[in-house]
Each structure stands twice: as C-alpha cells, then as structure tokens.
Structure 1
Amino acid sequence: MFNRLVQFLKKLFQRLFGGRHTPAEVETHAQQQPPPPLTDTDLEFLFTQLIEGVHQARGQVWAQKWLHNIEHRVSTERWVEWLQRFGEKLLASSSPNNELASRMIQLGELEVGAVGDAAYDIGMKLLTRNSGEPIWEYDGFDAVSQDFAGSTQTLSEQEEVSEEGENLPEGEYQSVTLDQLLEMLQQDENLRQQIAQQLGTQTDDPEILIQELLNQFQASGQSNPNQAEA
C-alpha cells in the first residue's frame, strides 16, 4: 500500500513539474527567436540616423561601418527597395525638403555603394524638380548677386540676360547662369581671388569655386528668389 502511494506521488509530481523548463532553458529559447522584421517607419528612422551622422562629417569609413553593422537586419537590397518608395513619397509631396535632399546627396558623395547611389539620385531629383525656378543666389562683390537657375535656360533667354546686364543701373542685381559664371571666373583672375577669399578656400580653380558655392547653398537648405527681384 505504501509503495503504491509513493508511485502515485511520483507520477503526480512528474505531471506537475516534468514539462516545465528551467529559467536557463526559457532564456535560451527566447534568444533563438528571430527579431521581428523592420517596418518602413523603422527604416526611415534608421536612415535619418545615418544621414545625420554623415551631415556631422563623420566620413566614409563611419558610414560604411554603420551600414555593415546593421546588414544582418537590413540588406542592401532592402535599403534600395525602401529608398525607391521613400523617394516616390518625397517627390509626390509639395514640401521642398531641400535640407533632406542635401544630406542624401552628401551620403551619395561618400561613395558607400548602392545605398549611397540611390540616396544621391533621390536628392538630386528633389533639388532639380523645380528647375524652372531660381534655386540659389549669392550676394557678394560689387553688389552683384549670382542667381543660379540651372542650365535649363535657352540661348535666347541667355542673350536677354546679357543685354539687360549691360544696361543695369548701379546697385542693380545681375542674373547669370552657371556656364556664364564659369566663363567669367576663367577670364577674370581678380574675380576668382575675391570669391575664393570670401569662401575661405585655398584654390581659385573656377570649377571648385562653383562647386563650393553650390555646397554652401545645399548646406543652408533654403533659397530666397524674392531678393533677386528686388
């Protein structure tokens, strides 16, 4: 009778506690569970961190390491697919998003691969989608403002600008294209030196000076065409 009672109690305890896992077993099982997939909102948050780091001049090595460290969660293909959707949303928006576009271009200029290339393309599309409107102006020497409207002007428009510039009253602003400014810089050494001094660059190479002017515009993230009309 006693032996039967002992056997009964053993079976009872086995049923009660035999199927339970120890804390260590439960923790190991939990660690083996794959993390949940990232949503588009998660990717937008992560991408914002990436371009913010690039904006803080952390450089190419930092950006490459950042992408490598997260590759187990977000592959390059996933980044590119998401960037395509993200870019379509930005281009469909009425907001200019100039600052975001500038940072995406900065990422692309670091040459970090397909992610940077996709970001660069989107950034350029954002900055040039309204190419018919002036996108930058620079107030500098001799009270002349260089208004960059891109290279989309026709030959007749350029001639009109040139003719108007010859008859401008003193103190008026003159609008020129990038090509015209490049030609001016190539022909006028004094002009190159003045712009280089204002920009704080050690070179007076015309193409580098123009690129630096564009970089400063992109960093400012805004333009004010109304000043060119004043």
Structure 2
Amino acid sequence: MIKKLKQWLKQIPATIQAYDPLNDEDENHHDNEGNGSNTKTSSHKSLGSVKDSDLEFLFHQLLQGVANGWQENRIEQFFEKLTPRITVEIWLDWLQRYRNQLMASPAPHYHFAARMIILGEVTASLPFLRPVGDLAYEIGTELLNRRQNNPIVESLRSRLNQDTENDPDKDLELTESASSLGDVLSLLQNNPEFAENTAKELGINTVDPGMIMEKIVQETELESIPFKESPSPETINDLFNLGLEKAETGDLEEAIAFWDQVLSVDRKFTQAWHNRGSALAYLNRFEEAIHSFDQAIAINVNDYYSWNNRGNALYSLGKWQEAIISWDRVLGVQPNFLSAWYHKGLASEKLNLTSDAIVCYQKCLSIDPNHTLSRNALTRINT
C-alpha cells in the first residue's frame, strides 16, 4: 500500500470510485501509468483472498477514524462490515507481521503509534474486538518507547515550562526524566493533573491520553520545521517531501497540511496542488479535490495527470459529461493514456452512449490486449 500510494501521489491518477480493497476487479490493483501496463501487484503476501496491502489500507482507515472520534459503535460497524471475510484471527496474524515491519522501519511513525493507543483505549470495552485493540496498543507503546532523546519530548517540555504561571518547575519536574514519548504517555495515564494541564495548553477538550498524544505529535512536529519569513527553495522542498512521507504512512490529513504550507509560500508549486487534490479525492472530498486540480491546470494547462484526476473526481460526483471533457483533454496530450480511455468508457455507459463506450474499450484493448477490465466491459455490453 505504501509504495502504491507514494506512486499515486506523485503522478498516477486516483481511481474513479472509492477504493474497495476487497474488490479484486478494482483498478487500484493495476498499474495505471498510462503506458498500457496492466500488471497486478504481487509484492505483498496474501491471506487467502485478502492481501496484506489490503489489510494495511483498511487498518489505516480505521486509525484515521479513531483519530476523528470514532467510538465503540462505529468501530464495531467497521469490523462487522468486513466479517466473515476478515476475522479477528486474520487481523491479529497480520498485525504481528506488520509490527515487525514498523519496528524495522527507520521512520518514527509517531502519529500511527498515537492512533493505535487510541484504538486500544476505545476497544477496551469491546470483548470481541479487544484482542485487536490490545495488540495495537502494545505496538503503539513499543513505537513510542523506542526513541531516546526525542526532539518532540524536548519541545513539549519547553512548551509546558514556558507558560506555567504558578509553579514554573512543576511540569518540568514531571517531564524531566522523560526521554521518549512512551514516558510522556505514562505520565498522561498516571497523573490526571499533568494530563489536564497538557490538554489545556494544547487547546483540546479531552484528557484522553491517546488523543492528547496525537495532538502533541501533530503540533510539535509542525513547530519543529525551520520556517523563515522568506523560506529557501530547500525548505519548501523539505515541506513537500514531509507531505510525501506522511502520505506514505497513510496520514493524508497531515500530508495535506504540509502541502498547504508549501502553497502558502509558493502558489505555483504544481506538484503540491496535484498531490493535495489526489489526497483529497482519496478522502472522498471531491469538490475540494477538483479545486486543487484546477489550480494545477491553471499553472500548466497540459498537466494531463491533473486533468485525469479531475475527471475521476467529477465522475465520483455523478458529473459524467464534465468528466468526459476532462479525459478528452488528457487524450489530447497523451493519446494512449489507458486509464482515461477506460474511464471515459464508463462515463459513456452512464450517459447511455453505448457505441462511444465500445469505442473506448476497444481502444484500451488496442493499447493493452490484456486489459481485463475493458474486455469484461465489452462482454457486459454484448450480453
């Protein structure tokens, strides 16, 4: 999933429909770089009909949900929708493997860890799902504990100490021995006053340790970026790459925040507009995505990747004729762009333009004779 998302954000167009990792016919399982290739991803291990990359994608969706306030009922619905195809046993088996992957990675995964802590806290009252939550909590704690001399801890310590009015040494004493975010988490869990003061300083209305930890990571990471009044090109590129790093871990909200910083300085950073639009589309925020693609196209009218993604977003809104216009712009620049031809065929079907759809699918097969989706579409039309 990480490799796929990274490639997609850089250039590859987003899928028309919301990605369903349990649908083997979904185009996200194909290479859509417009070169006619249609090779299915084979780099991940499979659990029956469920791939590790699919489980990773779903887990990131779950963690994004708990970070946005999902409670017990919503989490139960998430798992029930996937049952019986994905059982608790499958989740536990995959989480153990994913744990090894995370611990071997040099990236800190702080947001990921904080959200796993929240998941563990929320599922503590759900007997059936508690094993998943407990294991996620354990992995999250392990990730928070593995870094010593943590710059985020130092930033938090300075921040709390700076604004303490009555007893300037109190919070500093509490965090003096903390050298990892795991130590800070323990303080939040075991010292209600510390949790209350920290939440107040961060401006959030909760003393939940996991939610506080999420906010700590979010704010201190942003504060640690060296952003001058007139940022150098290197600084802007660093911010852009930090957005890519967030996207690679599935944290698209944070990725968008970094690209927003880039665009606040350089409104003509085309790739930031494109990536922002792609991330918004992936989050089903299609109107916002279209605005970002429009900005990228205004800078470079021949940016066919943005035209293509714009068509995808319009299709998702049911604006099929407008989507076709966008894909025609793609094909004017790249006549053999497979994804545009296929999706134009889908939109033509929606408009009952069957003959136009057939032409599109036949064109796909002339580009790639093994394009299964187009072959299936033609079979569907002819039966």
Which protein shows a greater Rg? 1
Q: Which residue of 1 aligns with 2:379?
A: none
TM-score norm. by structure 2 comes to: 0.34
Q: Which residue of 2 aligns with 1:168?
A: none
Q: Which residue of 2 aligns with 1:114?
A: 131
Query: Deviations 1:34-79 (Å, cap 9, x if unpaired)?
Result: xx61011111111111111111112221011111221211110110
Query: Deviations 1:165-194 (Å, cap 9, x if unpaired)?
Result: xxxxxxxxxxxx959xx6xx69xxxxx997
Alpha carbons of 1:217 and 1:69: their partners in 2 closer, same or farther (altered >3 Å)? same
Contact kept? 1:150, 1:178, Cα under 8 Å? no
Tell me the amino acid that sits aligned with residue 67 of structure 2: H
Tell me the amino acid that sits aligned with residue 56 of structure 1: N
Contact kept? 1:134, 1:150, Cα under 8 Å? no
- Determine which of 163, 169, 178 is the counterpart of 1:141: 163
Would you say how many aligned residue pairs link Structure 1 and Structure 2? 157
Query: Deviations 1:86-144 (Å, cap 9, x if unpaired)?
Result: 01100011111111111111111112411111111111111111145454233141596
Tell me the amino acid that sits aligned with residue 84 of structure 1: Q
Q: Which residue of 1 aligns with 2:97?
A: 85
Q: Which residue of 2 aligns with 1:74?
A: 86
Fraction of identical pairs, as percent: 29
Tell me the amino acid that sits aligned with residue 221 of structure 2: Q
Alpha carbons of 1:219 and 1:133: their partners in 2 closer, same or farther (altered >3 Å)? closer
Q: Which residue of 2 aligns with 1:216?
A: 215
Contact kept? 2:67, 2:115, Cα under 8 Å? yes
Contact kept? 1:195, 1:209, Cα under 8 Å? no
Distance 1:92 1:193 in 2: 34
Distance 2:208 2:98 in 1: 33
Distance 1:128 1:83 in 2: 18
Gap runs ≥5 in structure 2:
1-47, 124-128, 181-185, 227-383
Contact kept? 2:152, 2:220, Cα under 8 Å? no
Q: Please tell me the root mean square deviation across aligned C-alpha atoms, in Å.
A: 4.2
Question: Equivalent residue of 1:110, what SS?
Answer: helix
Alpha carbons of 1:212 and 1:150: their partners in 2 closer, same or farther (altered >3 Å)? farther
Point out the more displaced range, 212-221 or 68-77: 212-221
Q: Where do 1:70-219 residues align within 5 Å? A: 70-111=82-123, 112-133=129-150, 135-136=152-153, 137-138=155-156, 139=159, 140-141=162-163, 146=172, 148=175, 151=178, 198-200=201-203, 214=213, 216-219=215-218
TM-score norm. by structure 1 comes to: 0.53
Distance 1:56 1:148 in 2: 28
Alpha carbons of 1:213 and 1:116: their partners in 2 closer, same or farther (altered >3 Å)? closer
Tell me the amino acid that sits aligned with residue 81 of structure 1: D
Shift of 1:81: 0.7
Distance 1:105 1:194 in 2: 20
Distance 1:54 1:209 in 2: 12
Contact kept? 2:110, 2:143, Cα under 8 Å? yes
Shift of 1:80: 0.5
Alpha carbons of 1:88 and 1:59: their partners in 2 closer, same or farther (altered >3 Å)? same
Gap runs ≥5 in structure 1:
1-35, 154-176, 187-191
Tell me the amino acid that sits aligned with residue 107 of structure 1: L
Tell me the amino acid that sits aligned with residue 114 of structure 1: P
Tell me the amino acid that sits aligned with residue 215 of structure 2: Q
Alpha carbons of 1:223 and 1:101: their partners in 2 closer, same or farther (altered >3 Å)? farther
Q: Which residue of 2 aligns with 1:50?
A: 62
Distance 1:116 1:209 in 2: 16
Contact kept? 2:115, 2:214, Cα under 8 Å? no
Tell me the amino acid that sits aligned with residue 61 of structure 2: Q
Alpha carbons of 1:212 and 1:86: their partners in 2 closer, same or farther (altered >3 Å)? closer
Distance 2:102 2:196 in 1: 39
Distance 1:212 1:81 in 2: 27
